[in-house]
Amino acid sequence: MTDEAKPSLKEIAYVGDVTANATCPFCQNMRWSYAVNEDGTPWHSLVSYVRDGRAISLPAIVLTCDRCGFVRHHDLAMVRLRNAEGRNGG
């Protein structure tokens, strides 16, 4: 995976700020965490789906509920767009 498909700590902080009041849909916990690789870069995933008959992979930021382990994904391209625009989700 290319470096541009990997989230930065700044991008994870942005998601944390924008979703600061997000509760887990299963256990209502409000604490979310992310894991890092040995080099300090955050874990990420490629969410796969089919569009117009083609398989597409979407780079995503991964956050995990600290209580029940529920995993949520945030579209990295959208996070970068909103962060660059200085928008906070609205």
Q: pLDDT digits over 3-62, tens only?
A: 677 898 899 999 999 999 999 999 999 999 999 889 888 888 999 989 999 999 999 999
Q: How confident is the model at residue 87 (pLDDT cuts 50, 70, 90)?
A: low
- Tell me how many degrees the CA angle 62-12-59 measures, rounded to the nearest 5: 45
Which pLDDT value is given to residue 76?
Answer: 95
Angle, helix 9-18 to helix 76-85, in steps of 10 degrees: 80
Distance, in Å, from the CA atom of 83 to the CA atom of 70, rounded to the nearest integer, reads 25
Answer yes or no: is pLDDT of 85 > 90.
no
Domain ranges of the chain: 3-85
Spacing of C-alpha 86 from chain mean position: 17
Longest Cα–Cα distance of the chain, Å, equals 38
pTM for the model:
0.80
CA 34 to each of CA 27, 38, 51, 53, 55: distance values in angstroms, whole numbers, following the listed order = 18, 13, 28, 32, 27
